[in-house]
C-alpha cells in the first residue's frame, strides 16, 4: 500500500424537493413574518418533501447526480454511507435502500447518525476506509426529510429546517493532498439542548408521547448558538494547525448552514467574511444534507476550483462538531 495515498472528491451531486415554503407562507401559519425570520436566521425559503417522498428517494437522486459528475457507474462503488437523522425506518439502513435504488450492488452499506455533523463524519470514515485499503471508491450522502420531525405550530424550530440531500464520491489517488484528516468531537452531556426526545427505546411511541409532541425537534436556541460558534471556530483552527495550513491559504470556508448569525460570528472571529460560503437563504437548515448541498453548489458554480484549499466545518446535536481541509483537485 502506497504510503502517500490520498483521497479525493471526484464527483458531487445534490437534490432538493420541488415544493418551496417561503417566510411569507409561514407567516400565514403562525405568528411570524418574513422580516422576523430573515433578520434572525438569514433564511428566505426552504424545500419540503412531497408526502410520498422518503429520505432514500432524495438521497438516491443526489447519488445518481454525483456518480454522473464523477463519470463512474454504480457498480464501481464499494461503500455507501448515508448520514441522516430521518431514516426511512429504524432498520434496515437508509443506505441499503439507496443501494437498491441506484443499483450499486457491489457496495456494502450503513448509516451514520451524527445529526448536522453527519456528512463530515461520514466523509472522514470513508476517507479512513479508503486509506486503509478496504475500499477504493466510496459514495457519501447526507440526506434529510426534516419536515416530518417539525411542529408547525412552533416558530422557534419549524422556521429553521428544510429537506434535501447531497452526495460526494471519494476515491483513492495521490494527485494532491485531497481530503485531509478531520478533527471530530462530541459532548453527550449537552444532548438535551437539541434533540427529539420521543420515539426511540428510551421513550417509545405512545399516545401520551405524541400528545406531548415529544416526537418533534426540541431546541434551546440561545445555548445551541453559543456552543456552535465556539466549537466550529475552534475546530477550524485545530484542523488547519494539524494539517499545517494557514487561514490565509484557504480560498473558501463552507460551514454547516444552520443560521446566518452563526456563520457571520465565525466569519468575524476568523476574519474570512469574503471567503465564507452560504446558501442558507434558499434552503434553510437541512441538517446532515446542508454541508453536502453547499459543497456541490460551490463546486458547480466554480466558487471552489482545482488547487484551492477548502475548509468544511460542522456542528450538530449530540453535541457533535468538527472540521476538515480539502485540497480541491476535482476537474471541472
Supply φ then ψ for residue 61, to 5 degrees.
-65, -45
Catalytic residue among 23, 243, 285, 324: 285
Backbone region of residue 311 per phi and psi (left: phi > 0; alpha: psi in -120 to 50; beta: other values): beta
SS3 86: coil
Residues in the chain: 332
Q: How far apart are CA 223 and CA 242, in angstroms?
A: 28
Computed from CA positions of residues 43, 47, 51, 57, in that sequence, does the dihedral angle turn out positive or negative?
negative
Q: How far apart are CA 6 and CA 232, in angstroms?
A: 25
Supply φ then ψ for residue 86, to 5 degrees.
-130, 60
Neighbours of 213 (CB within 10 A): 14
Cis peptide upstream of residue 319 (ω within 30 degrees of 0): yes
Q: Is 243 a catalytic residue?
A: no
Helix (H) or strand (E) holding 325: strand 320-327
| N-term to C-term CA, the chain | 29
Catalytic residue among 23, 243, 252, 256: 256
Contact 172, 163 (CB under 8 A): no
Grid coordinates of 164? 434535501
Q: Is 256 a catalytic residue?
A: yes
Catalytic residue among 116, 243, 252, 259: 116
Q: How far apart are CA 137 and CA 79, in angstroms?
A: 7
Catalytic residue numbers, as ranges: 116, 256, 285
Amino acid at each position: 500500500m502506497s504510503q502517500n495515498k490520498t483521497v479525493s472528491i471526484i464527483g458531487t451531486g445534490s437534490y432538493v424537493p420541488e415544493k418551496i415554503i417561503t417566510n411569507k407562507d409561514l407567516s400565514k401559519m403562525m405568528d411570524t413574518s418574513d422580516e422576523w425570520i430573515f433578520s434572525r436566521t438569514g433564511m428566505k425559503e426552504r424545500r419540503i418533501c412531497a408526502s410520498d417522498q422518503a429520505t432514500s428517494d432524495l438521497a438516491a437522486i443526489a447519488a445518481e447526480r454525483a456518480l454522473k459528475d464523477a463519470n463512474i457507474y454504480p457498480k464501481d462503488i464499494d461503500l455507501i454511507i448515508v448520514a441522516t437523522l430521518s431514516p426511512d425506518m429504524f432498520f434496515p439502513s437508509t443506505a441499503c435502500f439507496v443501494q437498491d435504488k441506484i443499483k450499486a450492488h457491489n457496495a456494502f452499506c450503513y448509516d451514520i447518525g451524527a445529526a448536522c455533523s453527519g456528512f463530515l463524519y461520514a466523509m472522514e470514515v470513508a476517507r479512513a476506509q479508503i486509506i486503509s485499503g478496504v475500499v477504493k471508491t466510496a459514495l457519501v450522502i447526507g440526506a434529510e426529510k426534516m419536515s416530518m420531525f417539525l411542529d408547525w405550530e412552533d416558530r422557534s424550530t419549524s422556521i429553521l429546517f428544510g429537506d434535501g440531500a447531497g452526495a460526494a464520491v471519494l476515491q483513492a489517488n495521490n494527485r494532491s493532498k485531497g481530503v485531509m484528516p478531520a478533527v471530530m468531537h462530541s459532548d453527550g452531556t449537552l444532548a438535551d439542548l437539541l434533540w427529539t426526545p420521543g420515539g426511540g427505546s428510551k421513550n417509545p411511541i405512545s399516545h401520551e408521547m405524541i400528545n406531548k409532541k415529544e416526537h418533534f425537534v426540541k431546541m434551546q436556541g440561545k445555548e445551541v448558538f453559543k456552543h456552535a460558534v465556539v466549537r466550529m471556530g475552534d475546530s477550524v483552527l485545530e484542523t488547519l494547525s494539524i494539517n499545517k495550513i494557514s487561514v490565509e491559504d484557504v480560498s473558501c470556508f463552507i460551514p454547516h448552514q444552520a443560521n446566518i448569525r452563526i456563520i457571520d460570528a465565525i466569519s468575524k472571529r476568523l476574519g474570512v467574511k469574503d471567503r465564507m460560503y452560504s446558501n442558507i437563504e434558499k434552503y434553510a437548515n437541512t441538517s446532515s444534507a446542508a454541508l453536502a448541498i453547499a459543497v456541490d453548489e460551490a463546486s458547480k458554480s466554480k466558487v471552489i476550483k482545482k488547487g484551492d484549499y477548502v475548509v468544511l466545518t460542522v456542528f450538530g446535536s449530540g453535541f457533535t462538531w468538527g472540521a476538515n481541509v480539502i485540497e480541491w483537485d476535482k476537474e471541472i
